[in-house]
Amino acid sequence: MAGFYRTCALTFLVCAAQTVLAQSSDGTVTVPEDIKREIAGMADDVQKLISYLTAGAGKHQVYDRLATFTDTFGNRLAGSLTMQHAVEYMIGTMKHDGLDNVHGEPAMVPNWIRGLESATLLEPRVQNLAMLGLGLSVGTPRNGLTADVLVVNSFDELHNRSSEAKGKIVVFNQDWVSYGVSVQYRGNGASEAAKVGAIAALVRSVTPFSINSPHTGAMTYQDGIEKIPTACITVEDAQMLARMQARGTRISIRLHMDAALDGEVQSMNTVAEVKGTTHPDEIVLVSGHLDSWDVGQGAMDDGGGAFISWQALSAVRALGLRPKRTMRAVLWTGEEFGGFGSDRYYNDHKNDSNNMDIVMESDSGVFQATGLRFTGSKEAKAIVTEIMKYMAPFNASTVFDGADGTDIDWWFKNGVPGGSLDNENEKYFYFHHSNGDTMTVLDPDEMDVCAALWAVASYCIANLDSMLPR
């Protein structure tokens, strides 16, 4: 048996050596020693940032600032008067915080108005259904509409039963798979239902968990297809309607929606900076979106991402640190309608792409941080990975492939490196786009670590002698 174990051990060592050799020959990049020394030379500054944000004067500051903001303004639909006041507040507050070049940059956003709305089950019994009209949906006729219901579980089932859909309200009772899969019913359900003659569509909320809570969000209409009103209903009610239909019960619903799209109105992206000392025209951009849906408080989506971006700059300013290139925070408008604010910003600034060092966005929660998602060259990723080692004490140092974010995608396509916050957000879609998105779902200590990660990554990149390699 000893020989057997010795043979296994030798086999393991040979396989391990082959793995190391494969890793060393597959294009893996080693950070040059001079850049490693440069990053190591920022240790004192990094420690000051981390201590300030997690144990010092900045502890819980980002949570408290966001709580004050959300308690003051509540939710902030792009184009609304509330959103305008929120932007004005942020400009004044960031100026008072001592940041540089604080200003708003205009962007046109849809002027979508929800109005009064309701959905009432009439047959087989009377029940008010919890619902939220989907963003950019048209409304019903003034007196509403009443129709029988067809429940389907998928687009395929709808098409197979298309002869049953004419003149009816189609209910999509799709099972949660993932946000990327299930959100297609929210986005495309109305047009798919209209193609087979339905007069309205109701979509089971895009969430894996519900306490009778509807979850709204944006939808789109396909060109050349009749626009019919569409709303989300709760998981519980969608399943109930499916059970009723399976028993052969006739289902009738009255739907009323005053929703209307009245052109576009001007909103603003909010911008603030810590000016660079050596390369002030080169930019490290951190961001989150300030607008939200008109339910809950927009605390998680995306007040948290916007405020850790402010906090990163605020901590650098408070500690008197001056990076070599400019750190810029942008709080976007119109993200929930499809990225209207960031589209305008990109078109206004795309000629500066060569001066954009990295663009970063946090829009997937500010829960327990795990690391940074990154898009860019292998050389750039290796440098970012070296920087992220500073977050190892918080188990938040991993650099994952694939940054994402509606507001920064255009920059990726133009070759600019990108980053997004990775965090333990398994319950994110429990509260997403619902009345449950309040400060209660956020934790002050977790937000501090997210802010520290955001500050460390952006400051160190901004303070390197050279921009990240493309």
Measure the CA–CA gap between 110 and 337, rounded to whole angstroms: 7
Q: Which amino acid, residue 159?
A: H
Q: Could you say which of 335, 336, 361, 386 is catalytic?
A: 335
Measure the CA–CA gap between 46 and 43, rounded to whole angstroms: 5
Do 199 and 170 meet the contact criterion of CB atoms below 8 Å apart?
A: no
Burial (Cβ within 10 Å: 0-12, 13-18, ≥19) of residue 195: middle
Q: In the structure encoding, which two tokens stand for residue 101, read together?
A: 């070049």
What number of H helices and E strands is found in the chain? 14, 16
Instruction: Specify the length of the chain in residues.
Output: 470
Distances 414 to 48, 207, 286, 359 between C-alpha atoms, Å: 34, 33, 17, 11
Provide long-range contacts, Cβ within 8 A and 24+ apart, for 103-106. 103/271, 104/268, 104/269, 104/270, 104/271, 105/268, 105/269, 105/271, 105/344, 105/345, 105/348, 106/266, 106/267, 106/268, 106/344
Measure the CA–CA gap between 323 and 359, rounded to whole angstroms: 16
Contacts of 210 (CB under 8 A, 6+ apart): 234, 235, 236
Please say if 33 is a catalytic residue. Answer: no
- Which helix (H) or strand (E) covers residue 294, if one does? none
Q: In the structure encoding, which two tokens stand for residue 384, read together?
A: 């970012």
Q: What is the dihedral of CA 206, 207, 208, 213, to 10 degrees?
A: -120
**Quick one: which of 343, 270, 348, 338 has its CA closest to 88?**
270
Do 49 and 319 meet the contact criterion of CB atoms below 8 Å apart?
A: yes
- Which helix (H) or strand (E) covers residue 88, if one does? helix 81-96
- The residues that are catalytic are 335
